[in-house]
Structure 1
Amino acid sequence: MTYDLAPGRMKRTPDHEDEILDIRRHQDPSRNRLTPVVQLPPVAAQAVVDALTGLVRAAHDRERLSPTPQGELKEAQEFEEGDVFMVEPPFEGFFADRYLMDFYDTGERDICSRMHLHTGLRFVRMMTGANTTIRVSSLSPITVRPSPSWTSPLDSFVDPLPGTPDGVHRDRYNVIVPPDSWVDMQIPRGVSHQFNAVGPNAVIDSVHPEESIETLREGMSGYRMMAQTIFLAKDKSPASTCADTTGPA
């Protein structure tokens, strides 16, 4: 299924949770902005990551023991990048929600998450612990903002997007979040992005300020997590396509 992005609705089939956009025709309408926040002592960073991933794992344990009834919002779900728990759902008069994601280690699964976009804007805080980096990617250059507390620039590089159709080349712009770090990212509506953790200790705290609004705008039949994602590849690629954190020679 391929189509052009419209200024209003983006999805052709609102309830389709695996809708694919033709990579040959997509152009990002804006750029992601990444702000280095703070680098922590290893013990402190690991404590934060463990506490937040522990919350996600506890929610998934609860879901296995007592599954959410049919028709109710399931707060513990699985995304391509990791297990997710909706900490704070929206309510009447407050249209945002908040997720925590316990990242998968791409090397352990030998799978990279796909490049994708959302029909509403996103704000994410990425946190890493010991021996773990996060590779943040987009089809557009990522603006890295200055930080008063950061001591060295983030590594960045450009490589070819894997898995494109024969004869199609798209540049992929990458920024590496180092171990023991917090980094914030602002993702405008409709802008491509891809997160892959290299290592076992990483978590995302993600706020979606217009999730309920985009649900209405896209014409979904009911509110649920993940439904307003549009993928830019049909298949996931192996870990070798995202595990490199230094870029091509």
Structure 2
Amino acid sequence: MTQVMKFTPDDENEVHDMARFSDPGRCRVTPVVRLSPEAALAVTTALSGVVRAAHRSPATTTRDGDGIQRAQTFEEGDVYMLAAPFDGFFADRYLMDFYDVVERDICSRMHLHTGLRFVRMMTGPATRIQVSSLSPIDVNHVDGVTPFRPDMFEDAAPGAPEGTRRTRYNLVVPENAWADMQIPRGVSHQFNAHGPHAVIDSVHPEESIETLRERITGYRMMAQTIFLAKGQPASAACKLD
């Protein structure tokens, strides 16, 4: 697989040319379970509550003894690093409390990471997550086991340079559901939550390796992100209905 590197390791808003970008692989989504509205709301509320508590705590909004600020902010939502890497274990894990793109009238941008990701997406009542990529998204379906087939559609990717059209491949995680997503290193992806109850539980199995490879000063989760659009579009660019 092509090794994706940043031009400027410490740049948290580095943008690469979408017109010339080519995915080295594909994302894969595995539907896991459908829940009752009551159960889904209990799960998403409890997990988002952890993130919100972290963003109110001085212990997680300032750097700890290892130089890590565990409460951070991404374009898609607020984040709390549950577990940091350490010698002999180079993965970290975080929770994201999604913003509602309709409420904020702004979408996240297509992006990629210099290391692979594993993501569990969870939705509650009246909430869906739109997952997008510049390459078709593979869905892992096992007859008799997989609980649902997510809706999928194609449209034009927002943020493409003027005069250029890139196809965006979309998958929708329905309300009251869990779905896992495997994101290979350097593969484009985008998350936009529609509704108030959406959480991601994510594992970065290459986080420390990335930090060393990219020669990043300090430890910031966003530093492994490369964007494929200069600015965030209005919510019409990720409208579902």
TM-score interval (norm. to shorter): over 0.9
C-alpha distance 83-179 of structure 1, shift in aligned 2 (>3 A): same
Aligned residues: 239
| 2:176 matched residue in structure 1 | 180
Tell me how large the CA RMSD over aligned residues is. 1.7
The separation in 2 between residues aligned to 1:66 and 1:164, in whole angstroms, is 37
- Which of 67, 72, 77 is the aligned partner of 2:67? 72
The separation in 1 between residues aligned to 2:61 and 2:156, in whole angstroms, is 42
- SS of corresponding position for 1:166: coil
Q: Is the 8 A contact 1:8 1:217 kept in 2?
A: no
Structure 2: gaps (5+ residues): none
Deviations 1:77-100 (A, max 9, x none): 110000000000111110000000
Deviations 1:78-133 (A, max 9, x none): 10000000000111110000000000000111000000000000000000000000
The separation in 1 between residues aligned to 2:73 and 2:186, in whole angstroms, is 22
Q: Between 227-236 and 157-166, report the one with greater CA deviation.
A: 157-166
> Are 2:138 and 1:146 equivalent residues in the alignment?
no
Which residue identity is paired with 1:195?
F
- Which of 53, 61, 66 is the aligned partner of 2:56? 61
Give 1:191 deviation, angstroms: 0.1
| 2:186 matched residue in structure 1 | 190
The separation in 1 between residues aligned to 2:60 and 2:2, in whole angstroms, is 41
The separation in 2 between residues aligned to 1:80 and 1:93, in whole angstroms, is 30
| 1:236 matched residue in structure 2 | 232
> % of aligned pairs identical?
62
1:1-249 matches, within 5 Å, as: 7-8=2-3, 10-63=5-58, 67-69=61-63, 72-147=67-142, 148-244=144-240
Structure 1: gaps (5+ residues): 1-5
- SS of corresponding position for 1:192: coil
The separation in 2 between residues aligned to 1:103 and 1:116, in whole angstroms, is 16
The separation in 2 between residues aligned to 1:100 and 1:186, in whole angstroms, is 16
The separation in 2 between residues aligned to 1:149 and 1:199, in whole angstroms, is 27
The separation in 2 between residues aligned to 1:152 and 1:189, in whole angstroms, is 27
Deviations 1:35-82 (A, max 9, x none): 00000111111110001000000000114x884149821100110000
The separation in 2 between residues aligned to 1:79 and 1:162, in whole angstroms, is 19
C-alpha distance 214-32 of structure 1, shift in aligned 2 (>3 A): same
- SS of corresponding position for 1:214: helix
The separation in 1 between residues aligned to 2:111 and 2:4, in whole angstroms, is 16
Q: Is the 8 A contact 2:32 2:179 kept in 1?
A: yes
Q: Is the 8 A contact 2:79 2:97 kept in 1?
A: yes
